[in-house]
Structure 1
Amino acid sequence: MSDNYQTIVVGTDGSKSSLLAVERAAKIAAAFDATLIIGCAYYENKDDASETLRQDSVTILGDETAQKNLEAGEATAREAGATKVEKAVRPGTPVEALMAIMTDNKADLLVVGNRGINSLTGRLLGSVPADVARQSDCDVMIVHTVT
């Protein structure tokens, strides 16, 4: 395994805070000349969404909204200097989607924003950043995007 990051995955839900995480990931990707994969989860229907709804994540219904979020993420990444940018969308919870994208692409760094990590819900039920940090088998960077 190389000392440099070659494949970096970052999650976005289209929110301002998630785009800050994309920007940070893009700067790291540019510095290492790594491939940046911007990932977004979506729920296929309202029933799926309501079962897993949490206060710390934006609910994205349908692939079309996810694709728009990815386009915004790609624009942010390119502005921040990333040149090798790919996009990935997966159905399911944000944690499930990020884990799948990370595994499918053999990522060596996963970048997420810290939204939800300090909320009461986040402490009781878990949050996207805390859950991915526990489940990931690669390095995880939690970007301070929300105070």
Structure 2
Amino acid sequence: MDLSYNQVLVAVDGSEPAEWAFRKGIEVAKRNDATLNLVHVVDTSHYRGIELYDVNFTKKAIKHAEELLDGYVQKAKEHGLDKVGTLVEEGSAKTVITKHAAKKVNADLIICGATGINAVERMFLGSVSEHITRHAECDVLVVRTEKE
């Protein structure tokens, strides 16, 4: 049994909990000399109706995701990480992270924030972090508190 991680996948969306997960991801990657893989999922399931009015909406969302990830990469490099990868995926974050992104990078650890949606959405849709915890084929770290 290997007790270290080689491919750490951190789900980021620009929220405060995602920022905490990102900071923990940096520390875990540094301690393990691992690659830090950052994924942002453009949740196209919420945008289907918008595409009728703005055919470039998904393209704009992807461009925004790429810019967001570029900022995270810069921060990771400022903290001394050289091995940083990014993924922009489309679909439902719940399934894309565990079924596609984790497999693409051969993740042995997924890190995500504990919350990102409100209580009503969580009641009807279920939490992304809960889904990741239940369906991931690797270890999962759900970050609940800000890293000092």
Shift of 1:14: 1.6
Q: Is the 8 A contact 1:117 1:123 kept in 2?
A: no
Aligned to 2:70: 71
Q: Which amino acid in structure 2 is aligned with residue 115 of structure 1?
A: T
CA distance in 2, matches of 1:119, 1:49: 24
C-alpha separation in 1, matches of 2:141 and 2:85: 19
Q: TM-score, normalised by structure 1?
A: 0.80
1:64 CA displacement: 0.3
Worse overlay, 17-26 or 116-125: 116-125
SS at match of 2:82: coil
Q: CA deviation at 1:125?
A: 3.1
Any unmatched runs of 5+ in structure 1?
Answer: 51-59
3-state DSSP class of the match of 2:94?
A: helix
SS of the residue aligned with 2:48? helix
Richer in helix (by share): 2
Alignment partners' CA distance in 2, 1:142 and 1:121: 19
Which ranges of structure 2 fall in alignment gaps of 5 or more residues? Answer: 52-58
Partner of 1:53 in structure 2? none
Query: How far off is 1:82 after superposition?
Result: 2.6
Q: Secondary structure at the match of 2:66?
A: helix
What are the within-5 Å matches in structure 2 for residues 71-110 of structure 1? 71-99=70-98, 100-110=100-110
Paired AA for residue 70 in structure 2: E
Change (3 A) 1:49 1:72: farther
The alignment of Structure 1 onto Structure 2 pairs a total of residues equal to: 138
Q: For residue 21 of structure 1, what is the aligned residue in structure 2?
A: 21
The CA distance in 2 between the partners of 1:44 and 1:77, in whole Å, is 27
From the superposition, tell whether residues 124 and 78 of structure 1 become closer, same or farther in structure 2 (CA, over 3 Å).
same
The CA deviation at 1:116 is 4.5
Deviates more, 1:76-85 or 1:130-139: 76-85
State which structure, 1 or 2, has the greater radius of gyration over its C-alpha atoms. Answer: 2
Describe the SS at the equivalent of 2:68. Answer: helix
* CA distance in 2 between partners of 1:137 and 1:119 (Å): 27
Could you tell me how far apart the structure 2 residues matched to 1:39 and 1:108 are? 14
Q: Which residue of 2 aligns with 1:47?
A: 48
Aligned residues with identical type, % of pairs: 28
User: Offset at 1:121?
Assistant: 3.5
Would you identify which runs of 4 or more consecutive aligned residues in structure 1 move more than 4 Å? none
